[in-house]
Structure 1
Amino acid sequence: MSAPHATTAPSAPDAAPSDSGRGHGGVELTSVTKRFGETTAVDDLTLSVESGEFFSMLGPSGSGKTTVLRLIAGFEEVTSGTIAIAGTDVTGAAPFDRTVNTVFQDYALFPHMTIAENVAYGLRVRKVAKAEQQERVATALEQVRLSHVADRLPHQLSGGQRQRIALARALILQPRVLLLDEPLGALDKQLREQMQIELKQIQREVGITFIFVTHDQEEALTLSDRIAVFNNGRVEQVGTPREVYEYPQTAFVASFLGLSNLIDAAHAERLTGVATAISVRPERVRLMDARTEPAAHETCVDGTIVETVYTGPTTRYIVDTVDGLRVVAERHNDHAPSDTAPYHRGDAVRAVWVTEHAAIVP
C-alpha cells in the first residue's frame, strides 16, 4: 500500500481574526508558570489570544485551563512569567484593574432583584448616572434577546435565560476581554446546543475577545475561532477547529478530540511501508466484504466486527483485526429507517480508508 500523506494544516477557510494579539482586546501570556506548593498547575505557558476572537481552552479536569483563566482574571497570582491585556502588562494588577469580566457556571444572580436590576448592578457600583444605566441595560438585554423579561425575577426564568442574563451583566461593563468558565455546563444537552449558537452570535455582534474554558470537545469545535488543547499544565496544540481535529500534532490531541483510530508506527509500517504513527477518524473508515480488493489509493486491514453501536445519526462498528489492532468505523445512517444494517457482530470485513486521509502523528 502507498504511504500516508504528510498532511499540513490548512490556512484560509478557518483563519482566526487578523487583528494583532497586542491590539484592543488581545491577551499575551509569556512563560507563565503557576505552582500550588509542590504541584505545577501551569508549566511555562506562552500563549497569544487575538483581539476579537473566540478562543477556547479545552482539556480534561486538572489540565490547567481553569487556572489559566483565573490568572488572566487576576484571581490567582503567577509564580513566574507575565500577562498582558491589550498591550498592557497586568501581571501584578488587581482583578478590578483589569479590563476583563468573568461569567461562571454558577449564574450568581441576586434572587430579590429584577432582571434589569441584576444587569445594572455593576453600573450602580461604579456610580454610573441613572439615565445611562437604563440605556445600557436596555442595550445589554437586547444583545441577549431578553428585553421582554426585564421586570421578572431570576426564579421566573429558565436555565438558559438565566445564563444569558449573567452574560448581559458581564457585557454591560464593556470589558475588552470576556472570560467564560464552562458557563453552559449546567444546562441539558438540547439547551446547551442552542446556547452555543446564540453565544457565538452574541460574540460576533459585540466584537470583543471571548476566552472560553470547556472540557466538551464538541462545544469547543462548535464555538471557537481557535482552540488550545491543554494537558498536564501545558498546551499540546493551538489551531482552528479544523486544524486540531484533522491534523492532530500529538497522540493526546488525536484521542481527546473525538474518536480516533491511533495506529502505532509498527502497525503503520506493515500497512503502509512507513514507520510513522498515524491517526484515522472513524468517519473516514468504511467497511466492505473481506474478499473485495481496495483501490490503489486505499489502505485496508482485515478483521471481525466485535460490536455495533447505534447512535441515531450513525452506526459505529468496532473491528478487531487479524494483527491485533482495534479499528472503529462510523457509517452515516442515510438509509431508510426500516432497512437492516449491512453489517453485524461476527461478520468478517475489510476496514478501508483513503491513504491520504490518515494524518501523521509526530
Structure 2
Amino acid sequence: MIATAPAAPAAPEATRPDGTVTLSGVTKSFGEFTAVRDLDLEVASGEFLSMLGPSGSGKTTVLRMIAGFEDVTGGSIRLSGVDVTRTPPHARPVNTVFQDYALFPHLTIADNVGYGLRVRGEGKAARAARVQTSLEQVRLDHVADRLPHQLSGGQRQRIALARALILRPQVLLLDEPLGALDKQLREQMQIELKQIQREVGITFIFVTHDQEEALTLSDRVAVFNGGRIEQIGTARDVYERPQTEFVARFLGLSNLIGGDLAERLTGDRRTMSVRPERMRLIDREGTLAAGEVALDGTISEIVYTGPATRYLVATDVGIDLIAERPNTRHGADDDLARGHHVRAAWSPGHAARLP
C-alpha cells in the first residue's frame, strides 16, 4: 500500500528543501499507555536510517507520526526545517511504502506507477516520461505494459517503490516493506533498495525488526526499546560497541561477562560484551596470545549454520559462552566435538564495555 499526497505538488528540483527530519521531545500515548517517550531524533538529508526493535518498541508509531497518520501527544516534528506537527498527511512532503504494496490489479504497471501523477492532474505526455524514468530507476521499465499478477513478489515491491518515488517526496518512509518476501528474495531486495536510495538521493527511514536487514541497509541504525532509542549509530557502532545490555543481546548474539568474574579476568568489573566470532576455542593445554584471557569449559552443543559453526561452551565457572568459527575449509571434518575440553579465549580489546 502506498500513501500518496495529491494536494501537494512537487517543488522544482533546484528549490526543493533538504529532506532533514527532526523529532524533538516527541511523545505518543494511547490512553494510559505511552508508546513513545520524550524522543529526540535527527535524520540528515539523504540518509538511510533504520529504526530497529522488537514488536511494541515504538518504531512503527514513530514512523506513523512522521507520516501524519498518528497525532503527536507531545513534542514537535520538523521536515526540512518546517514544523509539520499538526500538518495533515496529504500536505506533508513524504510518501510511505508498506509491506502490502496494494497495486491496482486492473491497471498496467505503468498506470499504477503514474496513478499519483494522474490524481495531481499532470499531463499525459509528462506523466509518461516520468513513469518511464521511475521504472528505469527500479530496473523494471520492460514490464510497463504488464498487470500486477504477472510479476513476482520482488517485482511488485519495486513497483510499489517506484510509485512512491515518482511523486518526488523529500522523505520516503518504509514500514517493513520486505517482510512478505522469502529469505533469498529479501536479501536480493536489500541490496537493490540500498542502490536505489543512493541513486535517488532522498532520505529513507526504514522500519524493521530484522537485525541483519538493518545492518545491511543503513547509514545509521536507531535501536528502539520501550518507546525510547537505546542507541543510535552506524551499523558497525551498534554491533561492535553496544552501549546497553539490551542492544548487545538484541543485535545478534553476545557473551556478557561482568561483576566479580570480569574483575578477576581483566581488573574491570564493568560488563563485557564479546561477540561469538571474537571468541577463540583452543585446547586446554593451548597457549594464549598476548593479552588474551580465557575460561576453561566443555563443548555442550554444536550448531552448523552454513557459513559458520556455532559452539556452546559450558564453562567450569558455571556460565555458558558461545563461540563461532567460519566454515572456510570446504568438506573438512570439524576438529571439535561435543564433550571436547577447550579454553574459550578472547582479547579484552575485542570486548565492548557496557556502562
TM-score (norm 2): 0.94
- Deviation (angstroms), 1:172: 0.4
**Residue of structure 2 in register with 1:342 after alignment:** 335
C-alpha separation between the residues in 2 aligned to 1:205 and 1:263? 43
The amino acid across from 1:161 in the alignment is: Q
Q: 1:153 aligns with which of 143, 147, 160?
A: 147
**Aligned structure 1 segments of 4 or more residues deviating by more than 6 angstroms:** none
Assess if the C-alpha contact under 8 Å between 1:265 and 1:278 holds in 2. no
Secondary structure of the residue that 1:112 maps to in structure 2?
A: coil
Unaligned 5+ segments in structure 2 are 1-16
Percentage identity across paired residues of the two chains? 70
C-alpha separation between the residues in 1 aligned to 2:274 and 2:77? 38
1:131-146 superposed matches below 5 A: 131-146=125-140
C-alpha separation between the residues in 1 aligned to 2:269 and 2:252? 24
Assess if the C-alpha contact under 8 Å between 1:182 and 1:214 holds in 2. yes
The amino acid across from 2:286 in the alignment is: T
1:1-362 superposed matches below 5 A: 24-337=18-331, 339-362=332-355
- Deviation (angstroms), 1:313: 1.0
- Deviation (angstroms), 1:324: 1.3
- Deviation (angstroms), 1:272: 1.3
C-alpha separation between the residues in 2 aligned to 1:299 and 1:46? 39
C-alpha separation between the residues in 2 aligned to 1:265 and 1:51? 43
C-alpha separation between the residues in 1 aligned to 2:55 and 2:249? 15
C-alpha separation between the residues in 1 aligned to 2:32 and 2:258? 34
Q: Deviations over 1:26-51 (max 9, x none)?
A: 00000000000111100000000010
C-alpha separation between the residues in 2 aligned to 1:317 and 1:103? 40
Q: Deviations over 1:73-108 (max 9, x none)?
A: 000000000000000000000001100000000011
C-alpha separation between the residues in 1 aligned to 2:316 and 2:266? 16
The amino acid across from 2:185 in the alignment is: L
C-alpha separation between the residues in 1 aligned to 2:137 and 2:100? 21
- Deviation (angstroms), 1:296: 3.1
Q: How many residues align structurally?
A: 339
Secondary structure of the residue that 1:72 maps to in structure 2?
A: helix
Secondary structure of the residue that 2:56 maps to in structure 1?
A: coil
The amino acid across from 2:138 in the alignment is: V
Higher relative contact order (CA 8 A, sep 6+): 1
C-alpha separation between the residues in 2 aligned to 1:277 and 1:136? 55
Q: Deviations over 1:172-222 (max 9, x none)?
A: 000000000000000000000000000000000000000000000000000
Unaligned 5+ segments in structure 1 are 1-22
